[in-house]
Amino acid sequence: MTTATALIPGPAGNPLVGSLFDLTRRPLRTYLAAHRDHGDVVRFRVGPPGLRVEFYGVFSPEGVQQVLGSEAANFRKENAFYDELRSSVGNGLLTSQDGDYQRQRRLVQPLFTRRRVDGYAGAVAQEARALTERWNAIPVGGGGGVVDAAEEMSRFALRAVARILFGADVEEAVAVVDRSFPVLGEYVWDRGFAAIRIPRTWPTPSNRRGAEAQRALYAVCDRIIAERAARGDLDEDADDLLTLLGRARGEDGEQLDPAELRDQVLVFLLAGHETTATSLAFALHLLATHPEQRKLAQQEAETVLAGREPTAADLESLPYITRVLKESMRLYPAAALVGRRAVAETVIDGYVIPAGAQVVVSPLVTHRHPAHWPDPERFDPDRFLPEQEKERHRYAWYPFGGGPRACIGQHFAMLESVLSLGVLLRDFEMEAVDERVALAQGITLRAASPMRIRVTARGAAGLAG
Ligand code: HEM
């Protein structure tokens, strides 16, 4: 039996603006409460009467599978957030659709095969070594240096993705991206969810800041791309992602033009930086607050990585650290909310989602669904033991999305995260300074309060001793 749209349950919200303030001020709490109070498909009403819009949250693994996977053709990346993202970082793989998208994915996909990605392990190892050197150089107060895990992992993940993208030109890019991306990210997020969007051309302080950040990012990418083009084939040995993207050819000789190349680079920086940083930062925080699991992870890191740099082949020998990361991404999925527009009426969990409606799926909510995750708030990496994973619905855990638009960088993200976490665990003792961390939602989920960890060199087994 199906139930009409009007009968889909949902919060009434405020009489004047519906759930507008709840969703803009505390989106994560609002989605979690809506699921708890109203179930797997929830109708939200937003805005004043007369201008009110409705949209739907879909939280069951089965429903998410329909939206992202089996009926993905009914759900397109069309909403104000994607419009803003496209205006700010261009029409790259994350934002493009239809023919443009098919073409780009065909050209880019071969650069993200497992074999290719394994080749980026050297860049990850190099950045992980730089990080341990940095932590070792922190002046040690009473029993260890204090670092903010969120800041440290943001810096590390940016350097790692910039290194695989730009190779030798990493420093030039990192400085600009570090300054400009947070500004642009906030601008896109604020505009994407604003009740009223002021035209980008109006000279408001926010528009000026957004435009300046965008100019700086475009300029550095364009400059590096132009320098590469000028060097031409002299640089045959270069194997960074930018060079490979520039050389990528389709079957009929199709290739990315310089603007498309820049758009892809920006998308990789955007999609591959704060996402991985969030996963790593929360993994560190969880380990720092859970001594028993930390010990198991440290033992594995010491045994597998004793006295040497990590390689891609180590990934398979670090199953516990992999489980820690998966559990960290369950509790704190960097892409906590994923939006689509229904272009055809679709029945989900017995409810009719009308054509034209905006739909949100939320890894954060599904990952805490009590029917699929017993005691959902508890940190327990063993939920990801192979026998337990096998029992679970494919879409009970989907930090990388799913279906045709699933994350192209997921293998790289896992490789980077597991290897670097292994190195840090091998080299440092960790203890939480901040036991509790508040969450905030921007383009990615992040910590809204300090996430400090006391780190002390462990000596013996590691390189750092
Ligand atoms: C822990 C780290 C990461 C997480 C949690 C993550 C999450 C996601 C999610 C949920 C999507 C799907 C978005 C949607 O369906 O609307 C996505 C797409 C994408 N991600 Fe990631 N990502 C991560 C790391 C990376 C990295 C390292 C890269 C690149 C180097 C990357 C590049 C992309 C791209 C290009 C897309 C668009 C793919 C397409 O539409 O074909 N991501 N990511």
Number of domains in the chain: 1
Task: Tell whether 184 is covered by a domain.
Answer: no
Cβ(67)–Cβ(343) below 8 Å: no
Q: Which tokens belong to 147?
A: 């670092």
Kindly list the distances between the CA atom of residue 29 and the CA atoms of 22, 33, 285, 434, 439, in Å, as whole numbers in the listed order: 8, 6, 21, 21, 10
Q: How close is the Cα of 453 to the center of ligand 1, in Å?
A: 28
Other beta carbons within 10 Å of 294: 19
Q: Note if the pTM is more than 0.75.
A: yes
Q: What's the pLDDT at 229?
A: 78
Domain contains 109: no
Residue 455 and residue 95: Cα distance in Å, rounded?
A: 39
Q: Comparing C-alpha atoms, which of 282, 233, 313 is closest to residue 421?
A: 282
Give pLDDT tens digits for 168-213. Answer: 788 888 989 889 988 998 898 888 877 778 889 999 999 999 999 9
Count the residues in the chain.
465
Q: What is the pLDDT of residue 140?
A: 64
Torsion of CA 57, 185, 69, 53, to 10 degrees: 30
Whether 417 is in a domain gets the answer no
Ligand 1 centroid – CA 231 distance (Å): 31
- pLDDT, average across residues 366-378: 97
Q: Which atom of ligand 1 is nearest to the CA of 273?
A: 27
Q: Is the CB of 346 under 6 A from ligand 1?
A: no
**363: in domain:** yes
User: DSSP string spanning 397-419?
Assistant: S-TT--GGG--TTHHHHHHHHHH
Residue nearest to ligand 1 atom 40, measured at CA: 405
Find all residues with CB under 8 Å of 397, minimum gap 6, and list them: 326, 329, 330, 363, 366, 367
Question: How far, in Å, is the centroid of ligand 1 from the Cα of 276?
Answer: 10
Distance CA 146, CA 412 (A): 29
Q: Is 421 within a domain? A: no
The CATH number of whichever domain residue 54 belongs to comes to: 1.10.630.10
| pLDDT score of 21 | 87
Task: Please tell me the distance from the alpha carbon of residue 367 to that of residue 60, in angstroms, as a whole number.
Answer: 10
The answer to whether the CB of 334 is under 6 A from ligand 1 is: yes
Q: Which atom of ligand 1 is nearest to 267's Cα? A: 35
Q: 3-state class of 106 per DSSP?
A: helix
> Tens digit of pLDDT for each residue in 29-83?
999 999 999 999 999 999 888 888 899 999 999 999 999 999 999 999 998 889 9
Residue 347: inside a domain: yes
Please enumerate, as own/partner, the contacts of 384-390 that have beta carbons within 8 Å and a separation of 24 or more.
384/322, 384/323, 384/326, 384/327, 385/323
* 409 within ligand 1 shell (Cβ under 6 A): yes
Range of the domain at 364: 1-89+336-398
- For ligand 1, whether the C-beta of 399 sits within 6 Å is yes
